[in-house]
Chain A
């Protein structure tokens, strides 16, 4: 019977380390941007327009990633843009997760009319094209960081509701849920103790996905100039400005794109890797 208490050896989780590493860097830079950015991201120096990044001839030492067409430091703008992205990812991601998951749990566990109401609202909600919906919403309630966050929550909660509802229904059919009922546990206690812990890994992995998506939505809204005020540096805004001068200064476009790509990719990979590691069913 000794072999029954087994432990499983595991290979080094590269995916977890790489994505986790990038996210640490991302959040670190986002947090410390005001102190570590070499320049004021808004300071224009028209004598230093379109300086190339450091490995190309003509670069200035003070501007490692070059400058844009108004002479603003790309590296500094990238760092401050990370702050905006991180704020959106965290606040919009968590709020969306909370709203969507609670509704999903209720619908999947209590079923009946609760489920009917929630599911129909989800169906209706999902038939709006999301990005157009966001643009419309921001246009109506005005631009700014808060509007972007609200728009993301309003659009994306259905993603959590659907996934969490399905998983909750699967968990509610399990024998241990039934056993808890026979043992005289209240419905709410059963939901919190037997179901939520088993739905949590799924919620976690959708949450990381959602944080990535929130950053993309913020970038899209910045790109069409509906996000934070034009003065503030955002990755989407940088991409929009870089697009205009792509033939003269490609780096203005490329660096925020790389940052955006790596961050979103890391979020999804981190979520997946984390789930593989902590989901007891998959272990």
Chain B
């Protein structure tokens, strides 16, 4: 299988400084695979997704590195062309369904915006497509939902609408940014399964940002473990779970709570491991400083 998404040596810095937010990130995701980005808060998981989609916060800029989608290097494209490629080939499933839909617009046009505006579909065709997708995510009475405002729907329903919207234009790549974090635990599992099913059915490549190793084990085929914007380990899911190569990965796995023995399973990441991580980051920064 060929790699669809390929990132090599990506460095992002605070604008105007040499302080790195992403440190020499490289990863590749094969077509139709789900790749997990795992790390603590502030590890730069979401930043990688935002860098690909070109929506980094103002204060952060890409300093060096290569991002390519389907063999197409995004960095060499002129801005307009790059926006077109991103617009037609990617989509996002956002973290918070409460802020991801515009409160003053109806669901229908928000779902079909990309189809009608960027891809030039006819309105009726786009609406049919939206209805089909809403049915696919098991929304009853999709016709009514299309004409609803976001505040008329529950959080779980909105997240399903967002999932449907993400798949609307048959994107090649979907960045799912902690799509279940803001949801009720009872809804989480259901939504997760829905995303996994949709992904399999549509054969979409997916970048799955999360801090939950349990979620990773369920939906991802490969994974990158991040700390301080640096990839500690990139591995396929089986290797990561059974024979982690990096001590930090092993420590994260050990820190995952289990129902069978909750107390023993909650092992904090040890200082020696963190010292090792810090050492690796220092070494990388020294190299970067010389460059």
Interface residue ranges, A against B (CB under 8 Å): 1-7, 111, 174-176, 178-185, 189, 193-194, 197-198, 200, 280-281, 283
Contact = CB atoms under 8 A, between A and B. Distances in A.
B94 to A, nearest CB: 5
Given A184-B84, A184-B86, A185-B87, 19 more contacts: A1-B139, A1-B157, A2-B140, A4-B153, A175-B95, A178-B55, A179-B100, A180-B113, A181-B55, A182-B55, A182-B87, A182-B90, A182-B92, A184-B88, A184-B118, A185-B113, A198-B104, A280-B150, A280-B151
Nearest to B153: A4
Q: Which of B86, B102, B118 has the most CB of A within 10 A?
A: B102
Contact of B157 (A4, A176, A194): A4
Interface of B: 53-55, 58, 83-84, 86-88, 90-92, 94-96, 99-105, 110, 113-114, 117-118, 139-141, 144-145, 148-154, 157
Nearest to B177: A175
A85 B144 CA distance: 46
Contacts, number: 86
A175 B99 contact: yes
Contacts of A281: 103, 151
A175 B149 CA distance: 16
A182 B87 CA distance: 5
Contacts of A193: 105, 113
B156 to A, nearest CB: 8
Given A181-B55, A182-B55, A280-B151, A176 B102 contact: yes
22 contacts: A1-B154, A4-B153, A4-B154, A5-B141, A5-B153, A175-B100, A179-B92, A182-B54, A182-B86, A182-B90, A183-B91, A183-B118, A184-B84, A184-B117, A189-B117, A193-B113, A197-B102, A197-B104, A197-B105, A198-B103, A198-B104, A280-B150
